[in-house]
């Protein structure tokens, strides 16, 4: 089995029933749980608004993590993005490929194979569904470059595309 640099350093605290990495708490949760929450929110407020709400959740995590690991490991912005992409795969969020990172253009493009959010969503749908990944990447760029961003998922497994693709553009 390939070395997993995150899982091998996760600490288990049995008294609390908690897992931490670099002092940050994580949890394992079945993707079906998240897909169920997503579908219920979609049924209440519609797919568009649901996407915005879930994006906001991912955004918070991405912004915190990007800054935290950049500072903890003294990374450059590029190293922080590469680390987050590797970590994404190592914590089961799908296999991330960094396609483009341009600090000048404030542009990030990432492809993800086998997104658990798309797989757990199940039924084919007309829209992209990986709002948490989109949010994490949006928050990552926003946090690292201190900018407002727009983040899109033009390709998604859930729409029948072969991969999920994310494009994050910072405002100037
Ligand atoms: Zn997707």
Taking alpha carbons only, the member of 160, 121, 144 closest to residue 42 is 121
Quote the distance between the C-alpha of residue 151 and its chain's center. Answer: 12
CB atoms within 10 A of CB 160: 10
Instruction: Please give the distance, rounded to the nearest whole angstrom, from the Cα atom of residue 14 to the centre of ligand 1.
Output: 35
Instruction: Please give the distance, rounded to the nearest whole angstrom, from the Cα atom of residue 114 to the centre of ligand 1.
Output: 8
pLDDT per residue as tens digits for the range 90-101 = 999 999 999 999
- Residue 2 binned pLDDT confidence (cut-offs 50, 70, 90): confident
pLDDT per residue as tens digits for the range 59-114 = 999 999 999 999 999 999 999 999 999 999 999 999 999 999 998 899 999 999 99
Report whether pLDDT(1) > 70. no
One DSSP character per residue, 89-134 reads HHTTS-EEEEEEEETTTTEEEEEEES-HHHHHH-S--SS---HHHH
Instruction: Please give the distance, rounded to the nearest whole angstrom, from the Cα atom of residue 78 to the centre of ligand 1.
Output: 23
CA atoms within 13 A on the CB side of 87: 20
Q: For the chain, first and last CA: distance in Å? A: 43
Percent of the chain with pLDDT over 90: 93
Instruction: Please give the distance, rounded to the nearest whole angstrom, from the Cα atom of residue 13 to the centre of ligand 1.
Output: 33
Instruction: Please give the distance, rounded to the nearest whole angstrom, from the Cα atom of residue 91 to the centre of ligand 1.
Output: 17
């Amino acid at each position: 089995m390939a070395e997993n640099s995150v899982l091998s350093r996760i600490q288990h605290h049995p008294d609390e029933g908690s897992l931490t990495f670099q002092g940050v708490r994580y949890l394992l949760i079945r993707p079906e749980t998240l897909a169920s929450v997503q579908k219920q929110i979609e049924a209440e407020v519609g797919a568009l608004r649901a996407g915005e709400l879930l994006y906001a959740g991912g955004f918070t995590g991405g912004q915190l993590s990007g800054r935290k690991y950049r500072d903890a490991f003294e990374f450059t912005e590029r190293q922080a993005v590469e680390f987050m992409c590797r970590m994404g795969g190592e914590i089961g969020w799908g296999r991330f490929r960094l396609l483009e990172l341009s600090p000048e253009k404030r542009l990030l493009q990432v492809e993800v194979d086998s997104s658990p959010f798309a797989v757990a969503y199940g039924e084919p749908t007309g829209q992209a569904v990986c709002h948490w990944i989109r949010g994490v990447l949006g928050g990552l760029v926003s946090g690292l470059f201190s900018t407002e961003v727009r983040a899109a998922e033009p390709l998604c497994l859930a729409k029948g595309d072969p991969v999920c693709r994310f494009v994050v553009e910072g405002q100037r």
